[in-house]
Amino acid sequence: MKDFLNSWGLSLAVFLPLMGALVMFVVPKAREQFHKTVALGTSLVVAFVGILLFANFDYDATGTMQFVVDKSWIPIINSRYIVGMDGISLPLIALTILVVPLCIIYSWNHFPEPRNPKAFLILILILQTGMMGSFVAQDLILFFVFFEVVLLPMYFMIGVWGGEKRQYASLKFFLYTLFGSALMIVSFMTLYFLSDQINVDGTMMHTFDMRLLPELATGISAGAALWIFGGMFMGFGIKVPMFPFHTWLPDAHTQAPTVGSVILAAVLLKLGTYGFIRIAIPILPEAAETWAPFIGVLAVVGIIYGALCCLAQTDMKRLIAFSSVSHMGFVMLGIATLTDFGLNAAVFGMVAHGLITGMLFFIAGSTKDRFHTLDIARLGGMLKQMPHMGWILGFSVMASLGLPGLAGFWGEFPAILSAYNPGGDLNVAFFRVLMVVAAIGTVLAAAYLLWLYQRVAFGVPKAEFEDDPHIHDVSFTEWVAWTPMLVLILVLGVFPNLIFRVTDGAVANVLSAIPGHGG
């Protein structure tokens, strides 16, 4: 078993969804039940493989890559098929294998117009391959390929199943991200050429191996390293998205179908922050130190700015989208501190944000299904009309505003804490200012979320919806899709060690080249 997992586990988890998609591809689209079953079945098998992997993971060596497979792929440029999982990828893989089946379950009975479950589900499965691949790839080119694989399905998902302005939104999403990718791949290339060579079967070659590059890149001049980091910063920063490169996000989210929004918020955004932690910082630690204050500033500006924009929104979904900008600001602040506290907080924050904001998008989607609008001014009295939904929204809102005891807190508080004492030679006073500004963000978060809750859930239903027969409380598929997320939000909030224990050893590796990163 262990041997099988070691050689095939990760690859299975990555490519099984693609297999499922291929099977569905050849079956006519009229057989909807078949497609739904295959899609769900595939995602559940992936989840099962994932759980097997987690069960066999060595939690005493979270800093080491495990289940590593290293095979020749493109020998001419010495790019290899290397996959592996450590304590940083594990929580994100867990998030992915959880969210995808839940999204399929949620879609079960209400596919967005123009329906076509076959195409919709195939896209979700391809997405999953891309996401899983990005989190396990240990070769820059392989990573890049998976990173880009994610783009197309999401593009089509927004462009075909989206709202009224889907054309504009999907294109903006696609182009903006690609723009960043272009700079990122140039950075990867430069890194490849400027880093030291290794001996491959007797010939000296450059390498894309992410495990070796931290060592090999030490010879790169400081100036070049800065530019390379800059290219990666654009690629990852747009994906996060960091202020001021976030404007694709509200449009994409507002227009995307519910499930698209959920996957986008829950997993796709994390590719950016993951990239910083997995690639940019360990390979170019000195450049990271130079960039960190800049990233820190953009992070807290994003926190405040995103929150202020939330306060101005009249559309529930757009408000939640802007809240992502604010919340990802906390994640980036944690990363910018270059401390193990900060990075732990960042990984936790990614998972927590994925669950909580995913939940919020689910609720927004279900609200839209029933009211056919997300105009906050027209909503109201949810607690009266749909008490369960109202409570779930309340719970999610509380989690989102970082209530201690729920998951959101553990992304936020340690990030603020870590800014008190940044790592490396970062300016302490400067980061303490960032800490205070970030703390102000927690007040604003409470303000926009509770204000939203007041307008949507409290009060009495508006006259136009008072007797609307379409408005019913949480349905069965919704319960099935949501319960795991709600439970996890609570469980992770109470037992944060479920994640911190996994990440702690691994982030120490990321920061090994940064002096004084501890505490």
Site for other proteins in 417-476 (CB under 8 A): 417, 420-421, 435-436, 439-440, 442-444, 446-447, 450-451, 454, 457-460
Q: Which of 179, 373, 425, 462 binds other proteins (CB under 8 A)?
A: 179
Residues 181-200, one symbol each (x = binds other proteins by CB under 8 A, - = not), give xxx-xxx--x----------
Q: Which of 42, 134, 339, 509 binds other proteins (CB under 8 A)?
A: 339
Residues 119 to 148: which contact other proteins by CB under 8 A?
none
Secondary structure, 3-state, 390-422: HHHHHHHHHHHCCCCCCHHHHHHHHHHHHHCCC
Phi, psi of 69 (to 5 degrees): -120, 130
Choose between 134 and 313: whose C-beta lies nearer to other proteins. 313
CA distances from 438 to 289, 313, 342, 382 (A): 20, 21, 13, 31
Choose between 88 and 97: whose C-beta lies nearer to other proteins. 88
Comparing C-alpha atoms, which of 240, 28, 256 is closest to residue 164? 256
Task: Give just the sign of the alpha carbon dihedral 92, 274, 285, 342.
Answer: negative
Tell me the closest approach of the beta carbon of residue 448 to other proteins, in angstroms: 8
Residues 276 to 315: which contact other proteins by CB under 8 A?
305, 308-313
Choose between 15 and 227: whose C-beta lies nearer to other proteins. 227
> What is the spatial distance between Cα 382 and Cα 361, in angstroms, rounded to a whole number?
16
Residues 72 to 101: which contact other proteins by CB under 8 A?
none
> What is the spatial distance between Cα 376 and Cα 299, in angstroms, rounded to a whole number?
28
Choose between 265 and 444: whose C-beta lies nearer to other proteins. 444
Tell me the closest approach of the beta carbon of residue 273 to other proteins, in angstroms: 18
Choose between 223 and 469: whose C-beta lies nearer to other proteins. 223
Comparing C-alpha atoms, which of 241, 392, 229, 261 is closest to residue 327? 241
Tell me the closest approach of the beta carbon of residue 274 to other proteins, in angstroms: 19
Choose between 172 and 206: whose C-beta lies nearer to other proteins. 172
Residues 313 to 332: which contact other proteins by CB under 8 A?
313
Distance of CA 213 to the CA centre of its chain: 24
Single-letter amino acid code for the residue at 455: R
Tell me the closest approach of the beta carbon of residue 11 to other proteins, in angstroms: 30
DSSP state, residue 110: -
Choose between 4 and 495: whose C-beta lies nearer to other proteins. 495
Tell me the closest approach of the beta carbon of residue 113 to other proteins, in angstroms: 19
Question: In sequence order, what DSSP letters do the residues of 405-472 get, joined into one string?
Answer: TSHHHHHHHHHHHHHTS-STT--HHHHHHHHHHHHHHHHHHHHHHHHHHHHHTSS---GGGTT-TT--
Tell me the closest approach of the beta carbon of residue 43 to other proteins, in angstroms: 28
Task: Give just the sign of the alpha carbon dihedral 98, 104, 108, 113.
Answer: positive
Residues 394-413, one symbol each (x = binds other proteins by CB under 8 A, - = not), give ----x----xxx---x---x
- Which residue matches tokens 């019913």? 472
Q: Which of 365, 504, 510, 513 binds other proteins (CB under 8 A)?
A: 504
Tell me the closest approach of the beta carbon of residue 1 to other proteins, in angstroms: 29
Reading the block at residue 302, the tokens are: 């994003």
Using CB under 8 A as the binding rule, whether residue 496 contacts other proteins is answered as yes
Using CB under 8 A as the binding rule, whether residue 383 contacts other proteins is answered as yes
Phi, psi of 85 (to 5 degrees): -135, 130
Tell me the closest approach of the beta carbon of residue 269 to other proteins, in angstroms: 18
Residues 212 to 251: which contact other proteins by CB under 8 A?
221, 223-224, 227, 231, 244, 246-248, 250
Find the part of the chain contacting other proteins (CB under 8 A) among 21-29, 117-125, 355-363, 492-500. 492-500
Tell me the closest approach of the beta carbon of residue 148 to other proteins, in angstroms: 11
Comparing C-alpha atoms, which of 209, 180, 350 is closest to residue 273? 350
Comparing C-alpha atoms, which of 453, 222, 201 is closest to residue 323? 453
Reading the block at residue 393, the tokens are: 């929204």
Find the part of the chain contacting other proteins (CB under 8 A) among 36-44, 179-187, 203-211, 357-365. 179-187
Choose between 10 and 435: whose C-beta lies nearer to other proteins. 435
Choose between 101 and 408: whose C-beta lies nearer to other proteins. 408
Give strand pairing partners of 331: none
Using CB under 8 A as the binding rule, whether residue 61 contacts other proteins is answered as no
Q: Which of 78, 107, 255, 344 binds other proteins (CB under 8 A)?
A: 344
Choose between 85 and 307: whose C-beta lies nearer to other proteins. 307
Number of residues that bind other proteins (CB under 8 A): 74
Q: Which of 44, 69, 178, 490 binds other proteins (CB under 8 A)?
A: 178
Tell me the closest approach of the beta carbon of residue 62 to other proteins, in angstroms: 11
Torsion of CA 278, 279, 282, 286, to 10 degrees: -140
Comparing C-alpha atoms, which of 344, 279, 348, 296 is closest to residue 518? 344
Choose between 23 and 447: whose C-beta lies nearer to other proteins. 447
Residues 148-177, one symbol each (x = binds other proteins by CB under 8 A, - = not), give -----------------------xx-xxx-
| Three-class secondary structure of residue 200 per DSSP | strand
Question: In sequence order, what DSSP letters do the residues of 71-109 get, joined into one string?
Answer: EEEEGGGTEEEEEEE-TTHHHHHHHHHHHHHHHHHHHTT
